[in-house]
Each structure stands twice: as C-alpha cells, then as structure tokens.
Amino acid sequence: MNKKGIDFYIQAGKRALQWQSEHIANMKKLRFDTIAVHGVYSMQEALDFNQGSIIEPIYMSTSQTYRDSDEMEAALSYQIPTWCYSRIANPSMYYYEGVLALIESYNSGVDASCIGTSSGMAAIQSACDTFLVVDPKKINQKLNFVATCQLYGGTFQQFAVRKHEERNIEWRKVVNSMNIEEWESQIDENTRFLYGELPSNPSQGFFDIKKVAEIAHKYNLPLIIDSTVATPALLRPLEYGADIVVQSVTKSLFTSGFGIAGAVIAKKNITSNIDNDAMKADFCMYLKTLPNRDNGPEISPMHAILALNDIRTIRTRMDVMSKSTMKVAKFLSQHKHIEHVDYLGLENHPLHDIAKKYMFLVDSEHDEMYGEKVNRYGHLMSFIIKGTAQQTRDVFDEFQRIWRATDLGRIKSVATIPAISTHSQQGEEGRKLANIPQTLIRLCVGMEHPDDIIADIDRALKVLDGAKYTKSTPEYSAGGASSALLK
C-alpha cells in the first residue's frame, strides 16, 4: 500500500478547517431564522458526504474507521477534525452543536462554541465542575461559588446536595439578585464562578446581567447563565457579558418532547482565575476533548438530530407562545379566584422593567409584522390560587387541555404544582427562599389557540364555586387496547 504519511492528513485537515471557518463566517451574515433552519449543514457536505440528504443525518455509530495508522494517529492526537468515538464527538452532535453556537451568539459580536450534553443537568454539571478544581499550590483550599437561590429545582439539588453537602464546595447564595452589592460581597479568592438563571424557573427571577457580568470580570471570574426559559430567541446572555450559557435543550428548543438534551455554549477566551489557557481559549472544545471525554455525559446522535429539527422554528414559536401567555396572564389577573399572577410581561411584575431591558424577540426589527424591536417574555408564568393547598390541587385536577406534567416549553400546554413536584425535595424553607407557596401553579402555554387554554382554566376554576365535574374513562382506547379498568 502506498503510504501517505501523517503530514498528508494534517494538511488535508487544515484545508477542511479553513473551509469550515469560511462557511461559518458566511452563515453568520444571515438572519436568525435562516441560521436556525440551516445551522452548519451545507449542500456541499450533503453531496460529498451524506448521499445528498437535505436533512442532517443521524449517525447511529459508536466510532469512525480510519484509512490507515497515520490518519488514526493524526486523529487521536486531535490534529485533524475527527469524531473517532461517540462519547467524544459524532457528526450528528456536530450539527447540533454548530447551530446552537450560532444562534446563541447571534449578533453578539462574540464567537462561541458549543458542546452537547445528554441533559440540562449534565450541561450545568459540565460547565460548573470544570471550575471546581483546587489550586495545586493551596492544599485544603475550600472552594466556593456564588449563585442566586431562585433556581430550577434540579439545579438547587445539584448545588445544595451534590456540591455543597457532599463535596464541601460552598454555595454562597444570593437572595436578592437585583442587589449588586450582595453578589460582590460574597466573592473572595476561593470563588470560582458566578451563576444565575434568566428568567428563573419557576419564580421568574431576573437580574441586571450586564452589571453582574461586570462584577464577575472585576474579580477575574466567569459568569454562567442558565437561559433555558428565555432561549436564544428572546435573550442572548453572551451579548450582555456572560461567559457561558447552559441550556436545558429539552425544553422549548426541543419542544416536541421526544427526549432529554442539553448544551453548554461558551464564548472564546472566557474569564477565569484558573491557570489553564486551553480551557479559557475555547471552553467547549476543552470540555469536549478532556473533562467530558473522561466523564461521559454526551448527547446521543438520535436526540441531537431530533432536537435540531425543532430548533429550526424556535423564534416563531417563542413569539406565538409569548403572545398567548400574555393573553392568559391578563385573563387570570382579573379573575376572582386568583390571588396573584406572576408573569414578567405584566407591568405590575416587580422585575418587569429589568426584563424589558433585556428580553426581545430576536430580529423583530426585521420582521414585516413588527418593524421594530419588540419585547417578548416567554411562555412561563405562574399563578396563586385564592384558597388552600387542597383547593389548588382540585383546580389543577380539572384541567383537560393543559397536561399535568413537570415539564416546560412543550408544544402542548403543561402545568405543575412546584411544591409537590419539582420543588418538593428542598423543603418548606428552601421553597420559602425561592418564593414557592403550595397554592402556586406553574403554567407553560403551548402552541394551542390561547382562547382554548383560557377556557380550560376558567372551567377548572369553577370548582372553587362548587362546580362538580365527573370524569368518564373509556373502556377501550380508540386504538383498540382495553383499558386497565377491565383487567
């Protein structure tokens, strides 16, 4: 066999990377929707490598074969673009990561890269734990991180139990995240990062991201933002100074609900007080080739492409869902059985002004329908029932269109009672801190017509007037299987 030599492959790899960076630079000139639809998948690639398939292919393969030992050596020493083994990379993951990096950094003036993860929690763990390493010169260093306490329940557990309790890594809680001095006063030389959720799930906490990013950078620390609830269609934290964004892609981005997925997106050259140049230069590439290679939280190729297929329409969906949520929120605000409605889009919300400063429908100024920048506040809202915990459950149990599920961002409307579901583990005290009473229902409005959702809630609330509804269950499903009742 005619040996080509390792250098042959390295040169070919350089040309490929050059082609790729030109292609990405061209994609970056396009509007958000075009980027979301096409991502980094091109006709050239389709024709040369993927049988002309217009949709990104799912590579359900563990590993890649090499032409010879030289190519293998070049690949496994990361000297050429390669995917080698699906715990590290895979072509389907590549398209997923490519589109997420582009839409998260859209119009932000920064370059970003992305690494896909099997879940949002894995994304949070990957992003945070990379910083939770002790300085080899300081034995017994007790590390800490500063984070808001209005967080998703799973994140609360990861921080409070997995990190704080089990590993003695101190979570310094910011109670009022609008108070910049409170953030600053928690930082010392053992702090590794600042962290917040924008808006938070379910309590819709918000803070001045630019100011918090300034504080982080003043102390040479990165700011990590969980922007799951907003999505890149409504908020792009990298534009406002955040170093890293984590997404539970599972939610609005992967709206059809076929599975769990996550992503870390980081700008190039992040700020950190850790002496690790490769990590700071390209955080996601570092995660991919080292910590996540060793820890193994990668997304499956199947989920990557299923999610990517939903991501194409994120902007339009977030627009419609936001408008519907506003309509539902206004309806509930004047309902006699509702104590309080929490929605960032309502002017009486204490954080409305700060959310208004940052949450815009991307490209609305280029949209025929709007022609200017318009605020959109997403599809997450919550409301408090005037009544007891039991009455709240009674209302909840009557929903017919709204599905009872601990989920969010679904194409179908979903609702949950956080106190008995997502936030049951953190106890009364934790819930008080996060402002989650037992009479609170979290609602995420989907793509149905909003009037039908309003009618569903209105009907359910009538149980508080004494309405009694009886439910019937069919003995056979329409599909023919007998129901459990017959067994």
Ligand X SMILES: *Cc1c(COP(=O)(O)O)cnc(C)c1O
Q: Residues interacting with ligand X, by CB under 6 A?
A: 119-121, 152, 154-155, 197, 201, 226, 228-229, 248, 250-251, 260, 262, 408
Beta carbon of residue 363, minimum distance to ligand X (angstroms, whole number) = 24
Q: Which is nearer to ligand X, 82 or 201 (CB)?
A: 201
Beta carbon of residue 224, minimum distance to ligand X (angstroms, whole number) = 12
Following DSSP, what letter does each residue of 81-102 receive, concatenated? ----BTTT--HHHHHHHHHHHH
Q: Which is nearer to ligand X, 13 or 262 (CB)?
A: 262
Beta carbon of residue 173, minimum distance to ligand X (angstroms, whole number) = 17
Q: How far is CA 430 from the centre of its chain?
A: 23
Determine the length of the chain.
487
Q: Which is nearer to ligand X, 304 or 395 (CB)?
A: 304
Residue 315 in tokens: 């902007």
Beta carbon of residue 378, minimum distance to ligand X (angstroms, whole number) = 11
Q: What is the distance between the alpha carbons of residues 418 and 406, in angstroms, rounded to a whole number? A: 8
Beta carbon of residue 294, minimum distance to ligand X (angstroms, whole number) = 20
Beta carbon of residue 261, minimum distance to ligand X (angstroms, whole number) = 7
Q: Which is nearer to ligand X, 191 or 250 (CB)?
A: 250
Question: Is there a cis peptide before residue 232, judged by omega within 30 degrees of 0?
Answer: no
Q: What is the distance between the alpha carbons of residues 56 and 95, in angstroms, rounded to a whole number? A: 7
Could you give the strand order of the β-sheet that contains 223-226, starting from the edge strand earlier in sequence? 112-117, 262-267, 244-247, 223-226, 191-197, 144-148, 170-174
Helix (H) or strand (E) holding 427: helix 427-434
Q: Which is nearer to ligand X, 80 or 380 (CB)?
A: 380
Please give the backbone phi and psi of residue 355, each rounded to the nearest 5 degrees, phi first. Answer: -65, -40
Q: What is the distance between the alpha carbons of residues 194 and 206, in angstroms, rounded to a whole number? A: 14
Q: Which is nearer to ligand X, 41 or 152 (CB)?
A: 152
Encoded amino acid at 154, one letter: G
Nearest to 333 by CA among 383, 375, 379: 383
Q: Please name the residue ranges forming H helices in 105-197.
A: 120-129, 153-157, 166-167, 180-185
Q: How many CA atoms lie within 13 A of 46 on its CB side?
A: 11
Name the DSSP class of 240: G
Beta carbon of residue 226, minimum distance to ligand X (angstroms, whole number) = 5
Q: Which is nearer to ligand X, 149 or 260 (CB)?
A: 260
Contact between residue 223 and residue 212 where contact means Cβ atoms under 8 Å apart:
yes
Beta carbon of residue 260, minimum distance to ligand X (angstroms, whole number) = 5
Beta carbon of residue 410, minimum distance to ligand X (angstroms, whole number) = 11
Site of tokens 């309003």: 454
Q: Which is nearer to ligand X, 82 or 150 (CB)?
A: 150
Cβ burial, residue 407 (10 Å; 0-12/13-18/19+) = middle
Beta carbon of residue 107, minimum distance to ligand X (angstroms, whole number) = 23
Contact between residue 407 and residue 257 where contact means Cβ atoms under 8 Å apart:
yes
Q: Which is nearer to ligand X, 13 or 116 (CB)?
A: 116
Residue sitting closest to ligand X (CB): 120
Q: Which is nearer to ligand X, 121 or 146 (CB)?
A: 121
